[in-house]
Amino acid sequence: MYKIVEADFLAPDVKRFIIDAPKIARKRKPGQFVIVRVTDHGERVPLTIADSDIENGTITIIVQGIGKSTKQLNSLEKGQFIQDVVGPLGKASHIENFGTAVSIGGGVGTAIAFPTAKALKEAGNYTISIIGARSKNLVILENEMKAITDEVHVTTDDGSYGYHGFVTDKLKEIIGSGKKIDLVLAIGPIPMMRAIAEVTRPFGIKTIVSLNPVMVDGTGMCGGCRATVDNKTVFVCVDGPEFDAHQVDFETLIKRNRTYNVAEKEALNHICHYDAAFDSLKLQEAEGK
């Protein structure tokens, strides 16, 4: 069991958890993730480690409550426990001094871009970040990004805050200004990552995306997280999660993700009597009955 040390909402449905997990905190590197199970029999949810504190033995994860399990996770509060936190999993981000690096976070993807952006700054890059959200109340980690990157640009789709437009529009503007960009890291919804890849492709700018397909075991055994990169099948959990954006087959990825939408909707609407019985047993156990 893993204790929640802090829990706070950063935006509607987006919650930050600081969790007591000293071994993971010691081992994790930027870009890696954990698989979380809220209860004994719960779904396994992959979540990027947004940050860690070795001294206090904690890791930070940021969760968008969109499905049954993430909503269940977001209902937990400081002092409560998460059943399992397994990791660190996946390959760490490739960090070096590229020159000028642009980190782009779309919505909750900003939480995933944050640790790699921080490491790129520490490696000596001139760092620019672009944070995009549908509107002002959905912008997350602006101050945290300001603390670790040289330039921060916030964009909103409705113009309620910062630059009025998509992250791609801001990126085009920066590239158009003649600034030499050596690396783009883009994390967010798949259509956003696909669009970024098309912005940078004509300029030959190295572009990395982080993929988050449905995962089961997280160790390369089940094949649930497969994607097509450079015309080859990869398992995102062990071969990624970061890949060259210009080689990712985004169309296949979108189709594969859609196949899980029906099951996710059914899970959200399903009232599980097994869950209720199990929770009641746990409550009785905790109350010493």
By the criterion CB under 6 A, which residues form the site for ligand NAD? 106-109, 112, 132-134, 155, 157, 166-168, 187-189, 191-192, 195, 210-212
Shortest CB 240 distance to ligand FES, Å: 9
8 Å CB contact between 123 and 183:
no
84 binds, among ligand FES, ligand NAD, none (CB under 5 to 8 A by kind): none
Q: Burial-class residue 106 by CB neighbours within 10 Å (0-12, 13-18, 19+).
A: buried
Q: How many Cα atoms within 13 Å fall on the side-chain side of residue 163?
A: 17
Shortest CB 22 distance to ligand NAD, Å: 25
Distance between start and end Cα atoms, the chain: 21
Shortest CB 196 distance to ligand NAD, Å: 7
- Is the CB of 258 or the CB of 289 nearer to ligand FES? 258
Shortest CB 131 distance to ligand NAD, Å: 9
> Which of 141, 93, 140 minimizes the C-alpha distance to 121?
93
> Which residues on neighbouring strands pair with residue 45, listed in sequence order?
36
8 Å CB contact between 154 and 118:
no
Beta strands 14-20 and 226-229: pairing type?
unpaired
- Is the CB of 112 or the CB of 183 nearer to ligand NAD? 112
Q: Is 5 helix (H, G, I), strand (E, B) or coil?
A: strand
225 binds, among ligand NAD, ligand FES, none (CB under 5 to 8 A by kind): ligand FES
What stretches of the chain adopt beta strand conformation (E)?
2-11, 14-20, 33-37, 45-53, 58-64, 81-82, 84-89, 100-106, 126-133, 151-156, 163-164, 183-187, 206-210, 226-229, 232-235, 242-244
187 binds, among ligand FES, ligand NAD, none (CB under 5 to 8 A by kind): ligand NAD
210 binds, among ligand NAD, ligand FES, none (CB under 5 to 8 A by kind): ligand NAD
Q: Is 23 helix (H, G, I), strand (E, B) or coil?
A: helix
The pair of structure tokens assigned to 281 is: 């047993």
- Is the CB of 84 or the CB of 157 nearer to ligand NAD? 157
Q: Which of residues 217-246 bind ligand FES (CB under 6 A)?
A: 217-218, 220-225, 235, 237
Residue in 38, 215, 227, 234 binding ligand FES, rule: CB under 6 A:
215
215 binds, among ligand NAD, ligand FES, none (CB under 5 to 8 A by kind): ligand FES
Q: Which of residues 112-141 bind ligand FES (CB under 6 A)?
A: none
Binding site for ligand FES (CB under 6 A): 215-218, 220-225, 235, 237
